Amino acid sequence: MVDVLPLVEARLRSALGEPDARAAVTFLGTDRLEVLRFHEGDVVRYATLGMSAQPMSDPTAILADPVEGPRAELVLSVRPGASDTDKVLRPLAVLAASPQVEGVVVAPGSSLDVGEPLWPGAPFTSVLVAEPGGLVEDLDLDEPLDPVRFLPLLPMTPNEAAWKRVHGAQALQERWLTNGTDLRDPSRKSVPLD
């Protein structure tokens, strides 16, 4: 069985450069998860490393398939400085552990909630999982393994998360686009939802 994590880290480095910090978190009953920090101009990116070590499995399956199933890592991009966004490391690790802990399959259009601000003073407690492929290309693995997808996370305010549950992810993304919302602003207000 191939160890996918060195390949995943190499893909992150080729797309985002050298990480300038990394933190490791282990939760009871899960594999070790790391969060790498990359600076690129006026943007800081946080990427998980470890979520893709095991495929995500259908929560209704009796046994988890150790080979086949979707694999992913999470990427969050924000502007540094205005907030202590480095405190997002633990919440990101919690989100990355959710497939192992809660048996969820993280996919584009999903909402993930940590139940507390993503960092101190953040107006966001949840994220919308966006489509992969823009920032970091999928990492193809040898058959029968699914490729690793690098899923961008878009922070949502509680009002946006509630609106998304009713109207859907596409409608919320269109609302952000129509209003010129800066999704990298760590202290932005909720988009108008009326």
Give the span between the Cα atoms of 187 and 190, in whole angstroms: 10
In 19-171, beta strands by DSSP E: 21-25, 33-40, 43-49, 71-78, 111-113, 126-129, 148-156
Give residue 134's pLDDT. Answer: 85
Q: Please state the rounded mean pLDDT for residues 30-57.
A: 91
Number of CB atoms found within 10 A of residue 77's CB: 19
Give residue 59's pLDDT. Answer: 62
User: Which bin fits 41, alpha (ψ -120 to 50), beta or left (φ > 0)?
Assistant: left
Give residue 81's pLDDT. Answer: 74
Closest CA to 52 of 140, 143, 153: 140
The per-residue pLDDT for range 54-102, each reduced to its tens digit, is 898 766 666 666 677 899 999 999 998 767 888 899 899 999 998 888 8
The per-residue pLDDT for range 117-172, each reduced to its tens digit, is 999 989 999 999 999 988 899 999 988 889 999 999 999 999 999 999 999 999 99
38 pairs with which residues across the strands? 45
Give residue 103's pLDDT. Answer: 82
SS3 category, 26: coil
Q: pLDDT confidence of 3, banded at 50, 70, 90?
A: confident
Q: How far is CA 127 from CA 3, 24, 77, 80, 175, in A?
A: 28, 21, 12, 18, 16
Give the span between the Cα atoms of 118 and 130, in whole angstroms: 17
SS3 category, 161: helix
